[in-house]
Every structure is written in C-alpha cells, then in structure tokens.
Amino acid sequence: DVKVTQSSRYLVKRTGEKVFLECVQDMDHENMFWYRQDPGLGLRLIYFSYDVKMKEKGDIPEGYSVSREKKERFSLILESASTNQTSMYLCASSWGGREVETQYFGPGTRLLVL
C-alpha cells in the first residue's frame, strides 16, 4: 500500500510565525503536491514538484514556499503565517510516468493561525 504521511494532524500557530509542514511518501514517487482545502472551494494547488530540487507554482503560491531535498520528502513552508492561511493542508504524491497517474493523499494537517 502507498503511504503518504504528514507530520502533524493538528497545528496551532500565531500570526507571524514560520511554519513547516512535512510530507513523506514511501513509494518512490516522482511527483509530490501540496493543496489547501477550504469549504466550498475544494482543493487548490499551492505548489508541486516533479523531481528532487524541482518545484513549480500551483494556483495559489502566494505566502508559501516549498522544499524538496530528497525524493520522498516535500515540505511546505509558511514564511510568516497569517490568519487567512488557516486551512486544511493536504499532501499528495504520484508516479511520474507519461500516463496521468493516480494521486495518493496524506490524512491532512489542520492548521489554525491565531
């Protein structure tokens, strides 16, 4: 079974703090993704990576950065957390073949910024 794990299920931070969300996958997948999930808006792509040290902006990258130093690990960084970044954050991974591959999701991190 593919396993995607996220470092925390729940996180509470204060405005202005630097926040790190970690994601690890164990299937040697090439592609990794960070989404945020908000009611009524579905999932919106923040950043994705299709190789180590490679990253591409998604639809809503403002206020976020990412790091992929190892193939299995993809980190999302909030440089200075703000209240409008309170959300559920989902990590996903997929194999990097030519076909459109299934994305496998982690359980999510619910972040509250006070």
Partner 1 sequence: AQSVTQLDSQVPVFEEAPVELRCNYSSSVSVYLFWYVQYPNQGLQLLLKYLSGSTLVESINGFEAEFNKSQTSFHLRKPSVHISDTAEYFCAVSDLRAAGNKLTFGGGTRVLVKP
Residue closer to partner 1, measured from CB, 17 or 71:
71
Instruction: Determine the 3-state secondary structure of 28 from DSSP.
Output: coil
CA 7 to the chain's CA centroid: 11
Burial of 102 (0-12, 13-18, 19+ CB in 10 A): exposed
Instruction: Work out whether 99 is an interface residue with partner 1 (CB under 8 A).
Output: yes
- In the window 53-82, what residues touch partner 1 (CB under 8 A)? 56, 58
Contacts with partner 1 by CB under 8 A: the residue count is 29
> x/- string (CB under 8 A) for partner 1, residues 6-45?
-------------------------x-x-x----xxxxxx
In what order do the strands lie in the sheet containing 4-6? Answer: 4-6, 19-25, 73-78, 65-70
Longest dimension (CA), the chain: 43
* Interface contacts to partner 1, rule CB under 8 A: 4, 31, 33, 35, 40-45, 48-50, 56, 58, 90, 92, 94, 96, 99-108
